[in-house]
Amino acid sequence: MCIADQSFSELSEILRFYLDEDKFGLVREAYLFAKDAHEGQYRKSGEPYIVHPVAVAVILANMKMDYHILMAALLHDVIEDTEVTYQLLADRFGSTIANLVDGVSKLTQIKFRTRAEAQAENFQKMTLAMAKDPQVILLKLADRLHNMRTLGSLNFEKRSRIATETLDIYAPIARRLGINSIRTELEDLGFATLYPMRARLIKKAVEERRHNRKEIVSEIKFSLEEKMQERGLKGVVLVRERHLNSIYQKMKKMSFQEVMDIYAFRVVVESEDDCYRSLGVAHSLYRPRIELFKDYIATPKENGYQSLHTTLIGMHRVYIEIQILTADMEAHANNGIASRWVYDTRMSETPTHNQSGVDRWLDGLMQINKFTGNSLEFIEHVKTDLKVNRGEVRVFTPNSEAIELPAGATAVDFAYAIHTDVGNACVACRVDKTLYPLSSPLPNGVVLEIITASGARPSPAWLDFVVTGRAKSSIRHFLRHQKQAESVELGRKLLKRSLKSFDKKLSKISEKQRERVARHNQSSCFEELLEEIGLGNRMPFIIARQLLSDELRAADDTADIDKDARTSALTIDGTGGLVNIFAKCCKPIPGDPIVGIMDSGKGMVIHSETCDQVVRSGSQKQQLVYLKWKKEDITNEFAVALRVVLEWRRGIIAELAGAVAMADSSVEKISVKERGAKLSFVNLIVHVQGRIHLARVMKRIRNMRAVTSITRIRN
């Protein structure tokens, strides 16, 4: 018997325990097809390639997965590595299996510029396939697990890259989906690959401690079993062995001795009621630490995990951690979402409470994909959501639905977890019926209510404090769309102004002529061309000439594009925006004569007319846009730089800040530039609403006895 058939024989022994003959026959047919397709292909280890797909199927068979997943496992590399096409696979085995295989196949036909881009594109493809059908990731996790088991034949660089990717992406996905039977082994293999010496030392220390712990472990186990029997409770008490990566992560916060002084058990009973009765048994034997008690039966984790967690103080002041759950809960704890496809134990088509959290996360992946600009941005947002070292907080909706968020998450993260529209319209929140800041991290276990308002929109400042990938991608998408709308509007104003120089109106230009000019400038439509003008990538006077090219005579080429520029200046309301940016060099404020400079890709940067930047751009009048301030009151505050020369004495800085405050202003920054025996030079940045307000601030400062002079710094 060849190696390939020997490996399939091992799979057959497992399958005959739970598959009927018809289903087993279909799996065997898939094996023979894959074996023929991979004929002549070998792994780095020298084994026939077919050994790998069979090993992946064995991993899934040990989880008692249904036959169609096993068939897809055997066929999972035929599209990527052989001449077999998607259509051929669909014709032979059906579209369901062909879609699963296609979902885990890499994009081999596309040439990528970098390895990072290739990884991101392939991950995005797989993730979207997973969001549509989670069986795809189950296949990929089993595939990755066997690859991690057989890394030995690869060079160090490739082993390290695969192990890092496993710990960053695949193990966290398995955790998120509750597939702990695969997650723990992926973490241990990844840890041992990246840190072989640390793994060996921890493993050796654990084995040495195991013998020393045996007596205490046996005593605790016997006490629990005896007390449960007295209460008429049927169940099994299991000793939980910590895996290497878990010990290593805990050692970042405590010593190895402290980690090993915690004794972990799992109690498996027959019913949910027995779980709570067994909890009473445990608490009657040992003193509980109530603050560490967790009831995941009443409020399951988002991946569907259910159990009672309690921490006790036993004899010799050792800590005892106990998980109490039913056999069904234990199966779900090991297999997570994979429990949906266990053969002959199919769950209802209607998602249960246990499934809703996973489904919400999968839906979130689709939202992140929808709102990200490219695959590299997508993978970074997903990695953000998958990070596990930050811990978690559980908060509740007013309808008592539990939502899990990373530690440090804010009300804005919560709002986007509910729905993108809720996040976009969020203006305030209540925590336990009390108003709470949107930017503050959420406490654990609170009830959260989001207050929305029509017309509200996300603030760019939110990106400074949100932590979830879904919130970040949704906010960035909205801001990109908003910037696009602002760019189009600014481009329209600039083009109208340029056309006015020729005594023409945009409304008089035909739609046909607009589209012709748009195509000439490689824009898909006229609105896109307006956006390019607003961003400073196209000069409005050139586009104006092109629009009028059929109407102007050669003599018009000498037309003064600056004609009536000041009288037709654009109006600025002081709020700035995503494409109207106030220059930091001269810091213009309402009342200053101002001019705009078109900056390619950014939009219009607003400067004071006397700014050095404007003087340097004077020879390129096409770049300049004359502006004027809106006549109505402007309530926004603007930063202004001031230099104060004063006599130095103790407490003078506090006096200076007090004078600014008395003028209804505030200090953003203050620094002592030069300090002599008598006089010191102090630079400060204050916030004002315009020149009149600035004059009031400067007068207050000038009236200080210690002040010799005060001037505004313009550049």
pLDDT tens figures, 490-508: 788 888 888 887 888 888 8
pLDDT at 352: 46
| CATH class in words for 203-341 | alpha beta
The torsion angles phi and psi of 310, rounded to 5 degrees, stand at -140, 145
Q: Quick one: which H or E segment has residue 431?
A: strand 426-431
Query: For residues 221 and 687, what is the distance between their CA atoms, to the nearest angstrom?
Result: 68
According to the per-residue pLDDT averaged within each range, which of 165-174, 389-398, 631-640 is highest? 165-174
pLDDT, tens digit, for every residue of 278-317? 999 999 999 999 988 999 998 888 778 899 999 999 877 7
Residues tagged active-site: 80-81
Q: In the β-sheet with 624-629, what is the strand arrangement from edge to edge? A: 570-572, 624-629, 594-599, 603-608, 580-582
pLDDT, tens digit, for every residue of 540-552? 777 887 888 754 4
Task: List the beta bridge partners of residue 426.
Answer: 452
Letter string b/e over residues 673-696, b meaning 16 or more CB atoms within 10 A of that residue's CB: eeeeeeebbbebbbbbbbeebbee
Residue with the bigger pLDDT between 430 and 45: it is: 430
Q: Which CATH number fits domain 3-197: 3.40.50.620, 1.10.3210.10, 3.40.50.20, 1.10.10.10?
A: 1.10.3210.10
pLDDT at 258: 78
Between the CA of residue 15 and those of 66, 69, 70, 75, 268, what are the distances in Å? Answer: 10, 13, 10, 17, 26
Per the CB < 8 A criterion, the answer to whether 628 and 594 are in contact is yes
Mean pLDDT of 453-466: 85
pLDDT, tens digit, for every residue of 398-434? 988 888 888 889 999 999 989 989 999 998 999 998 8
State the DSSP string of 212-271: HHHHHHHHHHHHHHHHHHHTT--EEEEEPPPPHHHHHHHTTTS-HHHHHTEEEEEEEESS
- In the predicted structure, residue 345 carries a pLDDT above the cut 50: no
Alpha helices, H only, 501-553: 511-520, 526-534, 540-547
pTM of the model: 0.63
Question: Is residue 601 very low, low, confident or very high in pLDDT (cuts 50, 70, 90)?
Answer: low
pLDDT, tens digit, for every residue of 177-196? 889 889 999 999 999 999 99
Identical fold for domains 3-197 and 203-341, yes or no, is: no
Mean pLDDT of 594-620: 74
Query: For residues 298 and 300, what is the distance between their CA atoms, to the nearest angstrom?
Result: 6
**Which CATH superfamily, name and number, covers 638-713?**
ACT domain (3.30.70.260)
- In the predicted structure, residue 621 carries a pLDDT above the cut 70: no
- For the chain, the domains span 3-197, 203-341, 477-629, 638-713
Per the CB < 8 A criterion, the answer to whether 67 and 112 are in contact is no
